[in-house]
Amino acid sequence: MTPKFAVFGQPIAHSKSPYIHQAFAAQRSQSLAYERIGPEENEFEDAVRTFFAEGGKGANVTLPFKERAYAMCEVRTERAEQAQAVNTLWMEKGILHGDNTDGAGLLADMIRNLNWKLINKRILVVGAGGAVRGVLGCLLTAGAEEVVITNRTYERAQGLAEQFSLRAVALEDLHQEAPFHIIINGTSASLAGEGLALPSSLLAENACCYDMMYGEETPFMQWAQRHGAQVSDGLGMLVQQAAESFYRWHNWRPATMAVLQSMRQQV
Ligand code: NDP
């Protein structure tokens, strides 16, 4: 029987996950079904239970359900515990397991795809929502000299700084900071077409700027380019986090570069 996978989210019609997972499966001539499921707000847990009861092998979870997926799991990986959110579900001996592959996806994209150096570098993370909480644990394993967090609502940055033993800086105090080699935009400002109003003194020479959003060049990327920085959007993170999920379910690592290139052409 064709193994069944799915991605849960709301809205979900835009999700690229079916395309990515089918492309990975094609690399080993594997046939699988991968559907989009968009339950109503109050039906997420039932929909997940039904999916696995009907033989589902694995599921991805995206907005707004990652925290609820986390709450459903009986067994979670350490990185899921740190993120308090789950984007990858699977069933083992009738027990629901959860992982969070976003941070590993971001690191793989920056280090392997983009060839950015993180070791001994100063990294600034902007944002303190779910996406940032999902990646901080992994980011802290990359050997950076320091990871600093800032956010529009400073208290949220402080909360994450405490959880992950980092330093939080208020947006208005950023001009006092030494330059950063890497700046990661983990806010949803770009979704609204808004920039971040960061002082350009934050950019070290040859700095690299990463926007987790994908699909178009964002105001943050344009700002970084104007000041001579290298830039990337988050499409590679999307493909790499999917590759981590694929590995989790199939115990086999897909090649990602060709899939990423073909997605670049589509978006
Ligand atoms: P949340 O809603 O949880 O958090 C939003 C964050 O953005 C908060 O820190 C919020 O600040 C900040 N923010 C919103 N608007 C502005 C603004 N105009 N100026 C400054 N800060 C702002 O969203 P997520 O964390 O889930 O998602 C953030 C981004 O990450 C999205 O663009 C999403 O698409 C992307 N993402 C990409 C992934 C990938 O695979 N590439 C995976 C997951 C997410 P405040 O606390 O003050 O409200």
Ligand 1 pocket member 234 (CB < 6 A)? yes
Predicted pLDDT at 1: 87
Contact 167, 149 (CB under 8 A): yes
Ligand 1 pocket member 213 (CB < 6 A)? yes
Distance CA 146, CA 75 (A): 31
Q: Which two tokens stand for residue 189?
A: 């400002």
Residues of the chain by 3-state class (helix, strand, coil), percent to 5: 45, 20, 35
Distance CA 235, CA 105 (A): 10
Ligand 1 pocket member 10 (CB < 6 A)? no
Instruction: Say yes or no to pLDDT of 267 above 80.
Output: no
Q: What percent of the chain has pLDDT over 90?
A: 97
- pLDDT tens per residue across span 78-104: 999 999 999 999 999 999 999 999 999
Predicted pLDDT at 257: 97
Residues 6 or more apart whose Cβ sits within 8 Å of residue 122: 144, 145, 146, 148, 178, 179, 180, 181, 182, 204
Task: Record the pTM.
Answer: 0.96
- pLDDT tens per residue across span 116-170: 999 999 999 999 999 999 999 999 999 999 999 999 999 999 999 999 999 999 9
Catalytic residues: 66
> Which pLDDT band, with edges at 50, 70 and 90, does 9 fall under?
very high
Mean pLDDT over residues 29-53, rounded? 97
Coil/strand/helix, residue 132: helix
